[in-house]
Amino acid sequence: MQTLTQSPTDPAFVQNPYPFYERARAAGPFFHWQDYSLVCTGNAAAVNAIFRDRRFGREVPPEKQQPIPPHLAPFYAVEAHSMLELEPPRHTRLRNLVLRAFTSRRIAGLGPEIAALAHELGDAFPEGEFDLLQAFAQPLPVRIIARLLGVPEAMAPDLLRWSNAMVGMYMAGRTREMEDRAVAATVDFVAFLRGYVEQRRARPADDLITQLIAAEMEGEKLTTDELITTCILLLNAGHEATVHTIGNGVKVLLETGTPASALGPDAVEGTVEEILRFDPALHMFTRWAYEDVEVMGHTFRRGDQVGLLLAAANRDPGAWDSPDRFLPARPVRPHVSFGAGLHFCVGAPLARLELQIALPILFARHPGLRLTGKPEYADVYHFHGLRALRVRR
């Protein structure tokens, strides 16, 4: 196995990580990423296999658990109840309870609200040059999530600020300052939600928080701490990735001069899937090995960790024809931008719906939309999203 060096905060990598992924792919199915001291893979077959193999998981094996620094205790107290970080049986119980409330019918019912909000935001675009991220990509998903949860939309700026601070814990090169911001945001977020959950227990409403309170499976319900963590997860995971995906998607549509027909009723699903494949919002997820297991010639020992490079897998020429080309008419096939297997993203249907509704409205309302300069990506790895998207209409 080859060892490769590549700082995830290097400016050239931040702007275009794909050449490094190709260099890593040439080293074989697995390589050692020295900057992370981690075995990684961008091989599509290996990524899919590990996602679906129950001998790998998110929960840290007991012998690998490290003491939590006191200053991070509030953040990890929330993480302790996150189904993203748990394995069966706790993961199964939490996910099933959440899915009883987060139903496909409830998600589909948001379609008219997504459309109305996309029109409202599009109407408010300023004259001249402006940042489409702030004007459209950021407010749309956070306001939809607020409506879904039943949280006042006036809280959207706070939700956005808390979310941005908390996801800093997953970024490369995080600092003590970032950690302190994340903990402060966690404390504020938990305090708000704890009070709001108690309100909903006393006065139920037609919203997701009420449905989560009512959800029951074999006599079990979500505890208040589980409910709070689930709401935070739905907001942070669903909103953060959707903002980046809208930004990355509009960028590639404009840069490639993709015709409006690609966002027509019969084509928009394929175009959205190609956006998700071509330049996804999340580039790495990790898994722990729970026993000795061999994958494509490499043996993992119990307690080993592996990095799954989603964006690299989405451009594996062994799985995709012309993987480095953006082809909206490409036949729809599974990619790994939402993960796979046990932890497949519960918010994927909502993210897809938002993109399939909002992007056609954006371009239909503003057919002259154009970039005013070369967009730059922000230094937010493992996420991959733009610092700004300066446009004119």
pLDDT at 235: 85
**Residue 198 in this model has a pLDDT that exceeds 70:** yes
pLDDT at 376: 96
- Give the Cβ contact number of residue 176 at 10 Å: 9
Burial class (CB within 10 angstroms; exposed 0-12, middle 13-18, buried 19+) of 177: exposed
Tell me the per-residue pLDDT of 220-270, one tens digit each, with 9 for 90 and over. 788 899 999 999 998 887 788 999 999 999 999 999 999 999 999 999 999
pTM score above 0.75: yes
Which of 45, 10, 6 lies closest to 28 in space, CA to CA?
45
Question: How would residue 102 be classed by pLDDT, with cut points 50, 70 and 90?
Answer: confident
Of the listed ranges 97-111, 174-188, 306-320, the one predicted with least confidence = 97-111
Which of 228, 278, 227 lies closest to 251 in space, CA to CA?
278
Tell me the per-residue pLDDT of 12-30, one tens digit each, with 9 for 90 and over. 999 999 999 999 999 999 9
**What are the φ/ψ torsions at residue 390 (nearest 5 degrees)?**
-80, 125
pLDDT at 218: 65
The sign one gets for the Cα dihedral 226, 282, 189, 235 is negative
**Residue 217 in this model has a pLDDT that exceeds 90:** no
Give the whole-number percent of the chain exceeding pLDDT 90: 83
pLDDT at 315: 98
Tell me the per-residue pLDDT of 321-330, one tens digit each, with 9 for 90 and over. 999 999 999 9
Of the listed ranges 10-19, 107-116, 121-130, 221-230, the one predicted with least confidence = 221-230
**What are the φ/ψ torsions at residue 371 (nearest 5 degrees)?**
-75, 145
Find where tokens 């009512």 sit: 214
